[in-house]
Amino acid sequence: MATPDALRYTRFPLRHGSGAIPAVGFGTLIPDPVATKQAVKAALEVGFRQFDCAERYRNEEAVGDAMQEAFKTGRIRREEVFVSTKLWNSNHRPERVEPAFEASRRRLRLDYVDCYLIHTPFAFQPGEEQDPRDEQGKVIYDSGVTLVDTWRALERLVDGGRCKSIGLSDVTLGKVREIVAAARIKPAVVQVESHPYLPEWELLDFCREHGIVLLAFAALGHGLSPKVLDDPVITTIARRVNKTPAQVALAWAVQRGTAFLTTATTPRYIQENFDISALPEDAMREIRDRVTTRVRFNPVVESGVPGFIPRA
């Protein structure tokens, strides 16, 4: 058995705001609110202290309920938990940003949000419809607002105090550069798909240079094929260090300097994903040099349209 170590408690300092983000994070992209609440409660119980939410996931209330129940027990304090949520594409117009943020904050039942991210750089037709389409079924984008306009509105949220830090999601390096160049308050976090099949080294180098935390979503490859967890380099290391392939992929994520998000509804996986331990340096090198498959599972970065859309 590998000896437990401090890797799971790693925290990365943020440029501004909430001090530091726990590297080990739990995502709440779970379609069913009952399952969401159960999973969040279980994740808090095993030790997760970083949670990723979004208005788009339509389950912020369930996350808020689970957290309130945990806070009421007195075993976990609000200040110990880092909660992010995200502005959806149909709310990019500056006048829609604060109402959208406040609605998320209320649904989450929190006095403040640790990080607010622009979910994607794509502005959709403003309004209540999250998925606006024309007669041909094509997404209706909004050309009347730029990403910088939306960013300025997020900066004002930080000034207001209920939003501790801000960031971007589903962005290319080019977009991150654009915002870093224009920003008064620089992004604290950039959330993108990243796992051994999509390491995003160039983006990670840029983030490091600018003191931005890269938060890797789908850290296990979304559970899709080709399966990261079946990769022979990963499975061989797992056998060698007496850990599961998931624990190897997650340890790799933290050791190379990214925070990560996984989602599990299976209780055993929730526990497993928190119980990570540091990998030997040779294993880190093997993953970097010998895993050669390259796959982006989530096309959202090209269109702003997520693959999975929970229905109300």
Ligand X SMILES: NC(=O)c1ccc[n+]([C@@H]2O[C@H](COP(=O)([O-])OP(=O)(O)OC[C@H]3O[C@@H](n4cnc5c(N)ncnc54)[C@H](OP(=O)(O)O)[C@@H]3O)[C@@H](O)[C@H]2O)c1
Which residues of this protein are in contact with ligand X, per CB under 6 A?
A: 27-29, 52, 169-170, 191, 217-223, 229, 246, 261-266, 269, 272-273, 298, 300, 306
Distance CA 23, CA 3 (A): 19
Q: Which is nearer to ligand X, 203 or 264 (CB)?
A: 264
**Rg (the chain; Cα; Å):** 19
Q: Which is nearer to ligand X, 24 or 220 (CB)?
A: 220
Selecting among 9, 57, 197, 269, the annotated active-site residue is: 57
**Strand duo 82-87 + 166-169: pairing:** unpaired
CA distance 131 to 90: 8
**3-class DSSP string for 262-310:** ECCCCHHHHHHHHCCCCCCHHHHHHHHHHCCCCCCCCCHHHHCCCCCCC
The residue among 17 and 306 lying less far from ligand X, judged by its C-beta, is: 306
Query: At its nearest, how many Å lie between ligand X and the CB of residue 267?
Result: 8
Distances from the Cα of 167 to the Cα of 32, 155, 199, angstroms: 27, 10, 20
DSSP β-bridge partners for residue 117:
86, 167
Which residue do the tokens 């080709």 mark?
226
Residue 80 to residue 19: CA distance in whole angstroms: 11
The answer for residues whose C-beta is within 8 angstroms of residue 232's C-beta and 6 or more apart is none
Output 95 or 232, the one with its CB closest to ligand X: 232
18/262 with CB nearer ligand X: 262
- Secondary structure of residue 166 in the 3-state scheme: strand
Close Cβ partners of 272 (under 8 Å, ≥ 6 residues apart): 244, 246, 247
**Is 57 one of the catalytic residues?**
yes
Q: Which residue reads 């998931």 in tokens?
A: 246
* Element containing residue 167 per DSSP (H, E): strand 166-169
CB of 297 to ligand X, least distance (A): 8
Residue 89 or 255: the one with the smaller Cβ distance to ligand X is 89
Query: Are the beta carbons of 2 and 11 closer than 8 angstroms?
Result: no
Nearer to ligand X, 257 or 310 (CB): 310
Give the shortest CB-173-to-ligand X separation in angstroms: 16
Question: CA dihedral in degrees (112, 113, 118, 120; nearest 10)?
Answer: -140
Q: Which residues pair with 189 in a beta bridge?
A: 167, 213
Question: Closest distance between ligand X and the C-beta of residue 135, in Å?
Answer: 27
As annotated, the active-site residues are: 57
